[in-house]
Amino acid sequence: MILPGVRKPTARLVSVALGLVAYAALAAAPAGAFELKPFKDRLFAYPGILESRDGGAYITVDYRELRDINKRDQVPERRVNRRYVDLAPKKYQSEQALQTAAGEIRFFVVGNPVNTRLVTVYVHGRGGDRSQGVNDFSFGGNFNRIKNLMVRNSGIYITPDGGDLGDKAAARIRLLLEAVFRQVPGARIVLACGSAGGAVCHSLAHVDQVAMRLAGIALLGSFGSDAFIGSAAYRNRVPVFIAHGGSDSVIPVQGVEAFYRTLRGTQGYPVRMVRFETGGHGTPIRMTDWRDMINWMLSARSG
């Protein structure tokens, strides 16, 4: 299923692919036993911390559009400066499709499924599609960074089509994840959802077999849900990372902060929030430090 270079596999090809790598994957080390190695950390580090509270669980980042978009991008919001990008993962990238009981789902996959420790899945927001998460030059090169982090750390990166982000779309993504689980049984999953894609994160949080495999859930410019409390992910104490723009006019930050405080109200629950001061709706996708976020998840999940 997630073999590089295979496009639109049939159900039979999927079955064969699962069997080819199952033995190697069984030998993979647990995701919590390692951390992602550095990759362009100085370029992607948070530019400055204005405030830190709750023992560092909540930070406010000094975000400035003139610096973090106009100076970072060769063409603002369209093409980042070349030094932020390394195109080596392109050789491990393929576009695929999987037939499921809920319908076909198309997706991009980046990486090599042998000895996989970690899988990062990014679900786009409304109006997006699978191609958003593999665009090397948009969003300040941040998608290129997560591709590199996965390829360089025995990981796989997957960006599926979320469609209308409703129940049927969530069901297709769940079935895709279940196929991934069978192929890489030793790996944990980071599930990151942007904007309205958070509906998929919150839906899958209630699925036991998904929650048990999650290294963490990331809500990037997305929203919280009271229904998360008591979900399978909540019961399994899956780490939740929240990144939000302080001036988001689509999903106001106040509601997201309330969700953060609700999780903080559970003794010892692993939750972090990064607020990008003056940032808008797309800022978290551009500015979130993937390596810092995932390493925190791995540490919290193994603790």
Least confident of 23-37, 83-97, 144-158, 194-208: 23-37
- In angstroms, rounded to a whole number, what is the distance separating the alpha carbons of residues 227 and 249? 24
**Cβ(143)–Cβ(214) below 8 Å:** no
166: its two tokens: 């409703």
Half-sphere exposure of 18 (CA within 13 A, CB side): 17
**pLDDT in the model for residue 114:** 86
Task: Output the average pLDDT for the chain.
Answer: 90
**pLDDT in the model for residue 121:** 98
Helix axes 11-26, 167-183, angle to 10 degrees: 50
Q: Give the pLDDT confidence of 167-209 residue by residue, as tens digits.
A: 999 999 999 999 999 999 989 999 999 999 999 999 999 999 9
Q: Please determine, for residue 284, whether its predicted confidence score (pLDDT) is greater than 80.
A: yes
Q: Please determine, for residue 30, whether its predicted confidence score (pLDDT) is greater than 50.
A: no
Q: Please determine, for residue 12, whether its predicted confidence score (pLDDT) is greater than 90.
A: no
**pLDDT in the model for residue 186:** 87
**pLDDT in the model for residue 112:** 86
**pLDDT in the model for residue 11:** 35
Second CATH level (architecture) for the domain 11-302: 3-Layer(aba) Sandwich (3.40)
How large is the average pLDDT for residues 231-240?
A: 98
Domain ranges of the chain: 11-302
**pLDDT in the model for residue 301:** 84
**pLDDT in the model for residue 302:** 74
Q: Please determine, for residue 22, whether its predicted confidence score (pLDDT) is greater than 60.
A: no
CA 98 → CA 14, 161, 199, distances in Å?
8, 11, 21
Q: Buried (b) or exposed (e) across 219-238, using 16+ Cβ within 10 A? A: bbbbbbbeebeebbbbeebb
Q: Give the pLDDT confidence of 89-143 residue by residue, as tens digits.
A: 999 999 999 999 999 999 999 998 888 999 999 999 998 999 999 999 999 999 9
